[in-house]
């Protein structure tokens, strides 16, 4: 279909303006979608979609509303049930092989494609074939794929304040996903994170809605292209997801999947800006949030998913549930299906029991609990998105233009982009002058993060939690230590690694201790408080030992959130936050060393997109709070040109009062078994 003739309505930027706050109307804007249903292109699309819809049986319509996990649904079952979509959940790869090759991904994508077309086509004529959509969590690059480029997680990207970089990362990520034959990423996460105890803090760009609203359309555009561009959802572009709608960053105590107790005005003004901007940018799917709002599960909240999202905002793509998220809304699975679909969920992402969900959904439709009109609306939305992605062209994944160059997965140009993102994300909190380092220096490196690419990447890589991986699982990637070796090589310097910090007899000009959080994802990362040393005291001991030996020290902190690190700040002469930088750890050395000419090569650029606590229980802590008193404020970040600077000697009293670090599993439970 020729996109060039599509009209894109210029959407007035009617944000949740204060004027609306005084009226009786809801605070939501009157329209956000850029697609004009009255435009001839859209009307042609509608006719095409209705033609396919009319050819589907009720059973096939129900099948289109089911998304099954690749470990649990074979191509033959996709054909038999006319399933509309498959996904590989976090840490799921073809045939359970985390080292699956690009060819393996393509072969399975072809198999699903062929089966779906056979299953959905008019059994008699073979016409009306409806391909399947394959979705994946490419949330910081195509990170489930062996050899792919893993970009910094969103918390580090937030520190760059570089929206152009976000767009470029979206473009690169889309190319890598498309090169493996997949169609759709469940990204970007547009949480506005208000309590850093939350295990998904690092998936958010910021605590500040403006950063999220600025980045959202850029990531969507990078992934999908712009609605009025010829390459919108064309070769090398993939579907984006505005997730998780809405409010997830403000659950009580930061508990994953908890309740958000805020006003509708706050929900709109503080938490919906990224979603609004994503919809304006033409995002084609929205993922419902696990959390509740004022005690009501979003997955069954008709007001939010239908009246607001599809009514007021005119979102014309489709809403996908989160992993089994629909099952959390009622004790009876069938009743849960009905409640979620009637509330506005169009596609059910099913973790394991997709057959049961299929039959439950079919029963609810046949009984009338779910009106046929609702089913037709859901399937029409799904088909419209499939039509926009040009899936109906019928080209098999392995024959698409985007897969001609397999080497795009983990391409050097993408790794250089990721390394640039690492450089721009680093935030310097303290420097007594020990940085930048000379390239002829004798450097000792220590800490459990110095040579650990898996730790650098955090959650959502070859495994869901990001654990159980080693450097060999990230070919062509670089650890932070690798970057140091590269920086001193040929310049008369040395870099010696002792993860445990035992440098007996080693003299050195500087000791660099790289430490931080072990990888986690979702609720597994929920914490009761923000004290780092309460969970790991070794880095502090190493820093103190080096200091006692008169060796200047630098701390490099790998973390998915701001944490209370007063003891470590006191023990280090310089302190750099590297967040979760991904596979291109060498970017850290790029900034920590002088250039080859001895001058500053790359200065620090990163600025905190989250406020930094001065107390382990100081959360929520957000710019604009009454009595706002962070250790380092939102927007803080030192530069070399600022000269030596630091917070002085800090109080090291650990006021956690022995509270356990980890939270007990929340009532909602982990979002899915892995
Ligand atoms: C998870 C996450 C969601 C992800 C989905 C599929 O539970 O909440 O962000 O896209 O399942 O892996």
Helices (H), 29-74: 40-55, 58-64
How far apart CA 377 and CA 397 sit, in angstroms, is: 27
- Taking a C-beta distance cutoff of 8 angstroms, is the pair 182, 238 a contact? yes
| Closest to 444 (Cα-Cα) out of 386, 400, 502, 364 | 502
pLDDT digits (tens, 9 = 90+) for 162-172: 999 999 999 99
| Closest to 616 (Cα-Cα) out of 586, 580, 650 | 650
* Tokens linked to 633: 């404020």
pLDDT at residue 4 tops 60 = no
pLDDT of 5 reads: 35
Cβ–ligand 1 distance for 354 under 6 Å, the answer no
| 419-583-183 Cα angle (round to 5) | 95
| Ligand 1 atom showing the smallest separation from residue 324 Cα | 7
- Taking a C-beta distance cutoff of 8 angstroms, is the pair 445, 652 a contact? no
What is the Å distance from ligand 1's center to 463 Cα?
13
| Residue partners of 22: CB distance under 8 A and separation at least 6 | none
pLDDT digits (tens, 9 = 90+) for 629-669: 999 999 999 999 999 999 999 999 988 888 899 887 655 54
pLDDT of 664 reads: 76
pLDDT digits (tens, 9 = 90+) for 10-48: 433 333 333 343 445 578 988 789 999 999 999 999 999
Q: pLDDT category, 423, cuts 50, 70, 90?
A: very high
pLDDT of 666 reads: 57
When pLDDT is averaged across residues 419-425 and rounded to a whole number, the result is: 98
pLDDT digits (tens, 9 = 90+) for 594-628: 998 999 999 999 999 999 999 999 999 999 999 99
Sheet holding 510-516, edge to edge: 427-431, 574-579, 553-558, 510-516, 442-446, 494-497
When pLDDT is averaged across residues 291-309 and rounded to a whole number, the result is: 97
pLDDT at residue 1 tops 50 = no
* Tokens linked to 182: 């997949």
What is the Å distance from ligand 1's center to 289 Cα?
10
pLDDT digits (tens, 9 = 90+) for 471-495: 999 999 999 999 999 999 999 999 9
Q: Which residue puts its alpha carbon closest to atom 12 of ligand 1? A: 89
How far apart CA 188 and CA 215 sit, in angstroms, is: 9
Residue 493 exposure: Cα atoms within 13 Å on the Cβ side? 23
- What residues pair up with 86 in beta bridges, in sequence order? 68, 134
pLDDT of 116 reads: 92
* Tokens linked to 656: 């956690």
What is the Å distance from ligand 1's center to 522 Cα?
9
pLDDT digits (tens, 9 = 90+) for 185-210: 999 999 999 999 999 999 999 999 99
pLDDT digits (tens, 9 = 90+) for 47-81: 999 999 999 999 999 999 999 999 999 999 999 99
Strand extents, DSSP E, 508-593: 510-516, 553-558, 574-579
Cβ–ligand 1 distance for 323 under 6 Å, the answer yes
How far apart CA 87 and CA 346 sit, in angstroms, is: 16
| Closest to 52 (Cα-Cα) out of 64, 41, 42, 40 | 64
Site to substitute for ligand 1 among 239, 256, 322, most atoms within 8 A of C-beta: 322
How far apart CA 191 and CA 182 sit, in angstroms, is: 25
What is the Cα gyration radius of the chain? 25
pLDDT of 121 reads: 67
pLDDT of 663 reads: 85
| Ligand 1 atom showing the smallest separation from residue 186 Cα | 10
When pLDDT is averaged across residues 366-389 and rounded to a whole number, the result is: 97
Q: Mean pLDDT in the chain?
A: 93
Cβ–ligand 1 distance for 245 under 6 Å, the answer no
| 318-198-91 Cα angle (round to 5) | 60
Helix 209-224 vs helix 273-280: angle between axes, to the nearest 10 degrees? Answer: 30
How far apart CA 200 and CA 289 sit, in angstroms, is: 13
Which carries the bigger pLDDT value, residue 73 or residue 671? 73
Which residues are identified as catalytic?
322, 522
pLDDT of 13 reads: 36
pLDDT at residue 83 tops 90 = yes
Give SS3 for 97.
Answer: coil
- Taking a C-beta distance cutoff of 8 angstroms, is the pair 290, 522 a contact? no
How far apart CA 605 and CA 158 sit, in angstroms, is: 12
pLDDT of 8 reads: 43
């Amino acid at each position: 279909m020729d996109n060039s003739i599509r009209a894109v309505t210029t959407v007035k930027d009617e944000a949740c303006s204060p004027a609306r706050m005084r009226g009786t109307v809801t605070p939501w804007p009157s329209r956000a979608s850029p697609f004009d249903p009255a435009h001839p292109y859209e009307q042609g699309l509608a006719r095409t979609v209705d033609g396919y819809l009319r050819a589907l049986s009720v059973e096939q319509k129900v099948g289109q509303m089911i998304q099954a996990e690749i470990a649990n649904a074979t191509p033959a079952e996709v054909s038999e049930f006319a399933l509309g979509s498959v996904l590989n959940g976090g840490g799921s790869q073809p045939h359970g092989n985390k080292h699956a090759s690009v060819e393996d991904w393509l072969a399975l994508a072809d198999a699903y494609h062929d089966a779906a077309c056979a299953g959905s086509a008019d059994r008699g004529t073979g016409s009306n074939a409806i391909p399947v959509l394959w979705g994946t969590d490419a949330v910081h690059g195509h990170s489930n794929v062996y050899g792919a480029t893993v970009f910094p997680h969103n918390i580090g990207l937030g520190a760059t304040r570089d929206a152009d970089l976000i767009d470029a990362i979206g473009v690169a990520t889309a190319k890598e996903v498309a090169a493996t034959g997949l169609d759709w990423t469940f990204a970007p996460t547009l949480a506005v994170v208000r309590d850093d105890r939350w295990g998904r803090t690092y998936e958010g760009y910021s605590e500040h809605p403006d950063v999220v609203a600025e980045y959202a359309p850029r990531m969507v555009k990078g992934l999908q292209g712009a609605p009025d561009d010829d390459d919108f959802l064309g070769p090398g572009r993939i579907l984006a997801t505005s997730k998780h709608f809405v409010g997830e960053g403000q659950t009580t105590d930061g508990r994953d999947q908890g309740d958000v107790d805020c006003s509708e005005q706050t929900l709109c003004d503080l938490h919906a800006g990224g979603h609004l901007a994503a919809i304006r940018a033409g995002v084609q799917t929205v993922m419902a949030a696990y959390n509740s709002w004022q005690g009501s599960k979003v997955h069954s909240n008709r007001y939010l998913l239908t009246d607001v999202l599809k009514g007021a905002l005119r979102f014309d793509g489709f809403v996908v549930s989160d992993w089994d998220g629909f099952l959390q809304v009622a004790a009876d699975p069938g009743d849960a299906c009905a409640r979620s679909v009637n509330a506005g969920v169009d596609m059910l992402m099913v973790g394991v029991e997709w057959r049961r969900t299929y039959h439950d959904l079919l029963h609810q439709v046949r009984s009338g609990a779910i009106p046929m009109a609702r089913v037709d609306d859901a399937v029409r939305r799904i088909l419209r998105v499939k039509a926009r992605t040009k899936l109906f062209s019928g080209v098999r994944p392995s024959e698409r233009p985007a897969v001609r160059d397999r080497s795009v997965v983990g391409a050097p140009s993408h790794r250089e982009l990721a390394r640039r993102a690492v450089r721009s994300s680093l935030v310097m909190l303290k420097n007594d002058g020990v940085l930048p380092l000379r390239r002829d220096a004798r450097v000792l490196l220590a800490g459990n993060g110095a040579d650990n690419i898996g730790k650098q990447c955090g959650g959502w890589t070859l495994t869901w939690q990001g654990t159980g991986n080693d450097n060999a699982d990230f070919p062509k990637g670089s650890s932070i230590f690798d970057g140091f070796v590269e920086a001193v090589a040929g310049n008369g310097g040395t870099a010696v690694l002792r993860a445990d910090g035992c440098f007996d007899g080693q003299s050195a000009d500087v000791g660099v201790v790289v430490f931080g959080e072990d990888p986690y994802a979702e609720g597994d990362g929920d914490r009761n408080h923000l004290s780092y040393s309460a969970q790991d005291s070794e880095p502090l001991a190493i820093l103190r030992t080096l200091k006692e030996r008169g060796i200047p020290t630098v701390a490099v902190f790998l973390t998915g959130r701001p944490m209370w690190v007063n003891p470590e700040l006191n023990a280090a002469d310089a302190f750099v936050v590297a967040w979760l930088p991904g596979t291109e750890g060498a970017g850290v050395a790029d900034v920590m060393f002088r250039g080859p000419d001895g001058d500053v090569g790359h200065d620090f650029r990163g600025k905190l997109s989250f406020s930094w606590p001065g107390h382990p229980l100081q959360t929520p802590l957000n710019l604009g709070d009454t009595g706002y008193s962070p250790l380092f404020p939102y927007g803080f970040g030192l530069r070399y040109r600022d000269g030596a600077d630091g917070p002085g000697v800090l109080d090291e009293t650990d006021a956690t009062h022995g509270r356990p670090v980890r939270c007990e599993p929340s009532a909602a439970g982990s979002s899915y078994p892995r």
